[in-house]
């Protein structure tokens, strides 16, 4: 089965790509073969939440997007909610983590990892 080509316009900032590369290296995974799964999952306080996982290879129906040298694996369900999303990385005194700037989200919550459409 061929990969679906909706081509989500999903991207990583340079800082987020560097962090993803660092995490891949810690797991002995190479950016050429492995990637970062970006998913939208039911749940969270606003209806949907983001999921990020390191994976060794894409699934059969995944869309593969390369951003700043990092392969992003996106399933067909998640792709529709991630159009135009930019994944960043924020580090501050209070903590650090990946951030999502999603133009499709109509609302969110304080945790920053949950959204509504």
Domain residue ranges of the chain, discontinuous segments joined by +? 11-104
pLDDT per position as a tens digit, 73-106: 999 999 988 999 999 999 888 888 999 998 887 7
Residue 108 has pLDDT above 70, yes or no: no
Q: Which CATH number fits domain 11-104: 3.60.20.10, 2.60.300.12, 3.40.50.300, 3.30.300.30?
A: 2.60.300.12
- Mean pLDDT, the chain, as a whole number? 85
Residue 1 has pLDDT above 50, yes or no: no
Res. 117 pLDDT band, cuts 50 70 90: low
Residue 2 has pLDDT above 50, yes or no: no
Structure tokens at 65: 């997007």
């Amino acid at each position: 089965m061929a990969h679906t080509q909706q081509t989500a316009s999903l991207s990583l900032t340079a800082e987020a790509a560097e962090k993803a590369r660092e995490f891949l290296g810690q797991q002995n995974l190479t950016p050429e073969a492995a990637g970062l799964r970006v998913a939208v999952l039911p749940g969270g306080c606003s209806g949907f939440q983001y999921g990020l996982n390191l994976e060794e290879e894409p699934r059969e129906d995944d869309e593969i997007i390369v951003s700043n040298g990092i392969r992003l694996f996106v399933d067909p369900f998640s792709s529709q909610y991630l159009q135009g999303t930019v994944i960043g990385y924020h580090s501050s005194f209070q903590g650090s983590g990946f951030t999502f700037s999603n133009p499709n989200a109509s609302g969110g919550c304080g945790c920053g990892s949950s959204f509504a459409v």
